[in-house]
Structures are given as C-alpha cells and as structure tokens.
Amino acid sequence: MSAAPEIHIEPGAPEPDWLAVDWGTSHVRAWFLRGRRVVGWATSADGMGTLEPDGFEPALLRLLPMPDARLSVMICGMAGSRQGWIEAPYAATPCVPPTAERAVRAPTRTDRLDVRILPGIKQVDPADVMRGEETQIAGFLALNPGYDGIVCLPGTHSKWVHVSAGEVVSFRTFMTGELFSLLSTQSVLRHSMAVDGLDEDVFLSAMSRGLSRPASLGSDLFALRAEALLNDLPPVVARSRLSGLLVGMELAAAKPYWLGQQVAVLGAKGLANAYRISLEDQGLPVMIADAERMTLEGLKAAYFAEQDADARTGS
C-alpha cells in the first residue's frame, strides 16, 4: 500500500469543477481547478508502475478531498499507455498536440468522474514515441503562440522536438538520464560518484569532449574509475564529468535539431540549467520554461479547446 497522498486546497477557494492530472510511471500529480483557476493540488506515489488497470480509479479517488464532488478529469501521461488505465492510441507526426477531441474515455465504476486520457505522439520512421511530453509542448505553445523552432525536454528519456506552425513535425529520444542513473548507481563507477552536486566548469569541459569525441565515451567512462583509484578524483568531479560526457554525446547526436536553431528547454530547474549552459556554450540562444507549469498549461489547453470549439459552433 502506497503512502497517503498529499493534498492541499486553498482556504476559502470555490469548489473545483474539473481536475487536471499528470500520471507518470512513479508518481501522479493533480490540480483542482475552477475554470482556469487552480484552487488546490494533490500528489501521490500511485504511479502507473504500481497499479493494475482496475487500480487507477481508486487511486484517483484517494486524491479527492471532497467525497461527493462530481468532476471532469483530463489526464496526460502513462495512464494512457498499454499498461495503464486504458490505452489512448498515439497520434502520428506531423500533428498538433492532441486535445480533448482525441482523448479516450476511461471506464469508471462511479458516475462522479468523467475521465478522459490524452494520447501521446508517435513517429513511424525513425521509430519514436512520447507520452506526456506532448502536453508540455502544448502548454509551451499556449504561452508562446507562433513559436517555431526546437523544444528540448531533458529527463530520464530526453527529447528533441521540431515544432513548426503549431505542429510537432519530428522528434528524437535519448536515454541520457537513464544511462546516467544506471552508470552512477549500478556500474563500477558507483564507487566514485557523489550522490549529488555539480561543478559547472568540470561539467562543461566534459560536455565539450563528449560533443566533439562521442566515439571515445566508453574509454572516457572507465577513466573516471581509474582516476578515482590512482588520483583520488573527487566524487563531485566524477559525477559532473559523467553528466557532462553523456549530455555531450546526446548533443552530438541531436546536432541536426539544434544547430542554428532557437531552442526552448522545458525541464526541472537543475536539469534544465545543465542543458541551458551546454547550449549557450555552443553559442545558441535558449529559453527556459518549467516543465510542471507547462504540463498544467497543456492540460488546460486540451480541456478548453473542446469548450472553445463548442462555443464557436453554438452547441
């Protein structure tokens, strides 16, 4: 049984009429809204990876502090995966980030909830998928209409996305964050690594080497272990160098996306900053946006697109 969810409602706030939900593999985060106003939030460890399909509705109900509320629910992320609540089939590139009309209704036992799950986006050649990031992109475009360029979403599986005329044109995914986690905690390098910390100068130097000599990665990685044994390489330096080498290798492969482009980086503060300084080191102008806020704005955009369309048609 997972820990009890954390729930916060603004004192004196009006009753919410809908719920925006980002359902990840390890966690779920929900925002309570009255129209476009956020009146509260909730989070729990009931991620997709801990649930069977019939466990999603009870997990969602545990987030609700109002026992009799009747709510519309708009969900993005892994709840729509094949292993999730119900599969929401991918939209295919090129496409606009999916909104409510492409969402799939999830089965519920209670009539209190009208639950819809947004699909992700697929790319047939080269094969690639995203689920959740498309909503962040939608949120960024809602706040930056007319943006034409590259959106970088660093994380466990970093994505580089070409956006033009409001559409996701193409994208590539890199397992950089997962490789860092595996190497720093489960490989021989774990003996040399600090738990946290970043030396920016060391990171940038290693990033430059990874970018210019990606084929040397295997040798450069083992050199971290050798230097720790022979020269007492400080653990924070080792961690910073590992991160820089992997980000540099990613930038080398993603160069057709970012070279000569404007880039927006959507991510958590520390990770987004690492990509920002890396790209600025290559002379690129970079915009930064908070990934969590972009997710919420994307869910709002998806939810209200349907209402705006109904208002235009008078239905």
Query: pLDDT per residue over 66-117, tens digit each?
Result: 777 789 999 999 999 999 999 999 999 999 999 999 999 999 998 889 999 9
Q: In what order do the strands lie in the sheet with 113-117?
A: 6-9, 37-44, 28-34, 18-23, 71-77, 113-117, 104-105
Residue 2 pLDDT > 80, yes or no? no
Compute the chain's Rg from CA coordinates: 21
Q: Quickly tell me which residue has 């964050």 as its tokens.
A: 177
Residue 312 pLDDT > 80, yes or no? no
Give the class (CATH, top level) of 6-131: alpha beta
**Mapping DSSP to helix (H, G, I), strand (E, B) and coil, where does residue 312 land?**
helix
Would you say how long the chain is, in residues?
315
pLDDT value of position 256: 95
CATH 3.40.50.1220 fits 145-315, yes or no: no
pLDDT tens for residues 159-178? 999 999 999 999 999 999 99
**Mapping DSSP to helix (H, G, I), strand (E, B) and coil, where does residue 231 land?**
helix
The percentage of the chain sitting over the pLDDT mark of 70, rounded to a whole number, equals: 97
pLDDT tens for residues 3-53? 789 999 999 999 999 999 999 999 999 999 999 999 999 999 999 999 999
pLDDT value of position 311: 54
CA distances in angstroms from 228 to 158, 199, 214, 237, 315, listed in the order given: 29, 16, 22, 10, 68
Task: Answer whether 141's CB lies under 8 Å from 164's CB.
Answer: no
Report helix angle 235-253 to 269-281, nearest 10. 60
Q: Helices marked H in 39-175 — which ranges?
A: 56-61, 133-143
pLDDT value of position 176: 97
* Global pTM exceeds 0.75: yes
pLDDT value of position 66: 76
Task: Give the helix, strand, coil percentages of the chain, each rounded to 5.
Answer: 45, 25, 30
**Confidence category of residue 310, pLDDT binned at 50, 70, 90:** low
Q: In the predicted model, what is the mean pLDDT of the chain? A: 94
Token readout for 72 is 């519309």
What average pLDDT does range 235-244 have in this prediction?
97
Q: Is the four-CA dihedral 233, 234, 240, 243 of positive or negative sign?
A: positive
Name the burial class of residue 22, with classes exposed (0-12), middle (13-18) and buried (19+) by CB atoms within 10 angstroms of its CB. Answer: buried
pLDDT value of position 313: 53
What residue spans define the domains of the chain?
6-131, 145-315
Q: Quickly tell me which residue has 């990770």 as its tokens.
A: 271
pLDDT value of position 292: 96
Task: Answer whether 128's CB lies under 8 Å from 122's CB.
Answer: yes
Which of the two residues, 1 and 32, has the higher pLDDT score? Answer: 32
**CATH fold match for the domains 6-131 and 145-315:** yes
